[in-house]
Amino acid sequence: MSTLINPATGEFLSEARDTPVAGVAAAVRRAREAYQEWSGATAAERARVLLRFADLVEADAQELTRLEVGETGKPASVFREGELPFAVDNLRFFAGAARSLEGTGAGVLSPGYTSVLVRRPVGVVGAIAPWNFPLVMAVWKLGPALAAGNAVVVKPAPRTPGTTLRLAELFAGAGAPDGLLQVVLGGAEVGQALVADPGVDLVSVTGSTETGRAVMRGAAVLPKQVHLELGGKAPALVFGDADLADMARGVAMGATYNTGQDCTAATRVYIAREVYGQAVEALRATLEGIRTGDPWDPATDIGPLISGEHRERVHGFVERAVAAGASVALGGVPEEGPGFYYPPTLVTGVTQDSEIAQEELFGPVLLALPFDDEDEAVRLANDTRYGLASSVWSTDVARALRVSHRLDVGVTWVNDHLPIASEAPHGGVKGSGFGKDMSQEAVQAYSVTRHLMIKHQVPEARESFRPS
């Protein structure tokens, strides 16, 4: 049984009954049965279902907002006006992408044979979604997997099952085969059962790097395909010619959106030494103006962290950094009162090899470090096991492009941090995983290429296939 707590108040919301291990196997079997029908549907039929699903999600905005805000504590206005419309746009994009999943006519590759390459669904996808963006991340898995012709068994995070369960209810009215989308609830034991089930053909996970490793170990037993979007430690590189006011707004937003509980959050800002003092002051002033508070108050910019335990974890990073010699320019003290609030925090004086500069913190904490030249900026930015996102701040277009190409990450923004689009792939390298969410690449990630080789000519008889 999972206990659901409102992070904004610390109050009990409800309890969610975990799916027994036998129930996971049953869900996979039901999904497999539905897959047999769905995989034979035309692309146009799959697209129509996804479009109806998008309409149902859009019309259910009030209930989805109530569920997501209650379980995550994120501001209602941010979810209702930003994340929810974006999730609907994702579904509509994937409806179109379902009709663009084409194979390649390869032609004659061997004398007397015509080869055709076709794209086919993988089968049953086991999807594990995180607690920081429950609705959006579920859509990022459901949309491309269903568009490609797969069935899906999805496990939301134990703290935030509400919107995923609601998505399944809405999907039931979209006209798909019964059982095509299944939801299982619970923690690590349920996740392990889903990963290990022989009826699951591909496992897609968004979570920590440690979770990704565990999933890879479990999936290797059969083996089966794995799609991973894992942690991040995104750097922002600020050069001396950057617009510091614009940079402060963009990096502060990138560091605190969703209370910093975002794998692509700006966490390390490297600043050219000649403007370091000015840039730190601009960041401090901007972060100071970010308002924490009641998620239902339209004036609130960021809400609480997900739990008391997570707040202690975030604060522990800051405390250990200060004990090691760092300074807190802003914040750094948990807020009093109900709920799990933590203020926007700016830390200076850390070293590159320190824990706080190397490990994913997942809170509204930004580190500011100086650099002397472009090579050092790139070296410091790449000096981490993660490789998900980054940003470059400069008015020199040539330098911005040159530096962007040298960063070992999945995405680099220039003079901004965080914007995304349904058409653009999202994913990382190194310890941040592999595989892409969103875009046509995501649909391809949930399909496989098959080679059809058709004999069209009877070969002349010969004594041997050995070279003469």
Residue whose pair of structure tokens reads 């020199």 in the numeric block: 396
Integer CA distances (angstroms), 184 to 22, 107, 153, 220, 455, in order? 11, 44, 7, 22, 46
Integer CA distances (angstroms), 89 to 63, 171, 410, in order? 18, 16, 22
Instruction: Decide the pairing of beta strands 104-110 and 181-183.
Output: unpaired
Query: What span, in angstroms and rounded, lies between the C-alpha atoms of 259 and 342?
Result: 8
Query: What span, in angstroms and rounded, lies between the C-alpha atoms of 161 and 71?
Result: 8
Q: What is the DSSP string of 295-343?
A: TTSTT-SB---S-HHHHHHHHHHHHHHHHTT-EEEE--SPPPSSS----
Residue 166's SS3 state is: helix
Within its chain, how far is the Cα of 319 from the centroid?
Answer: 28
Integer CA distances (angstroms), 443 to 73, 227, 291, 333, in order? 31, 12, 38, 44
Catalytic entry in 68, 71, 83, 229:
229
Instruction: Decide the pairing of beta strands 433-434 and 225-229.
Output: antiparallel
Query: What span, in angstroms and rounded, lies between the C-alpha atoms of 378 and 297?
Result: 40
229 catalytically annotated: yes
- Total number of residues shown for the chain: 468
Question: In one letter, which amino acid is 322?
Answer: V
Among the listed residues 434, 428, 435, the one whose alpha carbon sits nearest the alpha carbon of residue 386:
428
Q: Which residues are catalytic?
A: 229
